[in-house]
Chains A and B, each alone.
Chain A
Amino acid sequence: MEEVKNNSGQNLGIAALITAVITFVLAVIPCVGLIAIIPGIIAIVLASVGLSQASRSNSPRGVLIAGLIIAIIASMISFSQIFVAGKIVKKADNWPNNIHNIINDVQDNVTKEIEDAHVSIKVESNGEKVEINTNANKKDQEKTLENLEGVNIQKHDTIQKHDSIQKHDSIQKHVIVRKKK
């Protein structure tokens, strides 16, 4: 006896395969990959229903199985993107704190460097030379300030800077900058 095969579930199989392929293409594009999970689930449901119908009536299942496999792979790709985006968002929640810490670190480093900095700037224009020497060494600054002002400087929580400017054409300038922290 010949086996009688009908096409029940075939239409669902075609629909599932088309949806699955579209889902696959969408899932691979990162911009819309996150929403590809919706057609992916639809394709899986269509293929599953089609398979159950096909198994009851002994009809061909090639298209249905192909649709189901492609839909599952596409959904997994889409889900992986949701997972990645979720992780990035979680990390992004900690970014403000991290940025604050980084700014503090940079501030501390800059302050430390400034304490021992020695800067020399030379400017030449039409034969005239101007040289600016800045020594930000804290101890030197205190001594210079004591010499200049003849007053004892309280240390406490203040940062003192001393900029001395020398001009070669017998012009000398001293700039004292006090900065409160």
Chain B
Amino acid sequence: MIVSRSMIVFKNMLLSERKNNTAQNLKVKLRNEPYLIINIFFAGVILVIFAYSGIFSPEKDNYPVVCIHEKLTGQPCVSCGLSHSFSLIVRGRVEEAYHWNSYGMRIFLFFVAQLVLRVAFSIFYLKYPDTRKQLIIVDCIGSGIIFFVAFWPFIVSIITGVLSTVS
């Protein structure tokens, strides 16, 4: 009886040691791989955005983030209604989302694409260590292009605003 008990204790100790080792290995891996840390962090941020859209409802209109541009100038900006739009998209009411902000869908898709890319690139990064540099370059260029395509209307509005005030 005593022997079997001690065996169980020994097994448990071994298992806990293994767990500690794997956790330490993971920590060391993450320390040496900033790309993975960045990917995990961005995935987390995107999930927080989706959670924000899910928690705050368009019916209650209880969004904590308000348009500072509108508060200062009294004029609505291009991105007004984006939170409403995101909330409606999360709830599957796409047509209503278009009414709140016509660019909401493309920006939402940008975040969805980024979430998928973060996971996919992280897996590729770990699976194929020989192509890491190329992977990072492809990721940077691809994400940059997607970003500019998604946010183009906002960028244009900023540029025109600056140009009009300068002239």
Contacts and interface: CB of A to CB of B under 8 A. Distances in A.
A92 B71 CA distance: 12
Contacts of B38: 14, 17-18
Nearest to A95: B74
Contact of A30 (B34, B77, B165): B77
Contact of B162 (A21, A32, A84): A84
Contacts of A17: 34, 38
B27 interface: no
Interface residues of B, number: 31
A84 B42 contact: no
Contacts of A34: 68-69, 72
B105 interface: no
Given A28-B151, A83-B162, A84-B165, A14 B77 contact: no
A84 B161 CA distance: 6
21 contacts: A7-B31, A14-B34, A14-B37, A17-B38, A18-B38, A21-B42, A29-B154, A30-B77, A30-B79, A30-B154, A31-B70, A31-B79, A31-B80, A32-B68, A33-B158, A34-B68, A77-B158, A84-B158, A85-B72, A87-B165, A88-B72
Interface string A60-103: 00010000000000000100110111011100100000000000
Contact of B69 (A7, A77, A81): A81
Interface in A7-30: 7, 10, 13-14, 17-18, 21-22, 25, 28-30
Given A28-B154, A83-B162, 17 more contacts: A7-B31, A10-B34, A18-B38, A18-B42, A22-B45, A25-B147, A28-B151, A29-B79, A29-B82, A31-B69, A31-B70, A33-B158, A80-B158, A80-B161, A81-B158, A84-B158, A92-B73
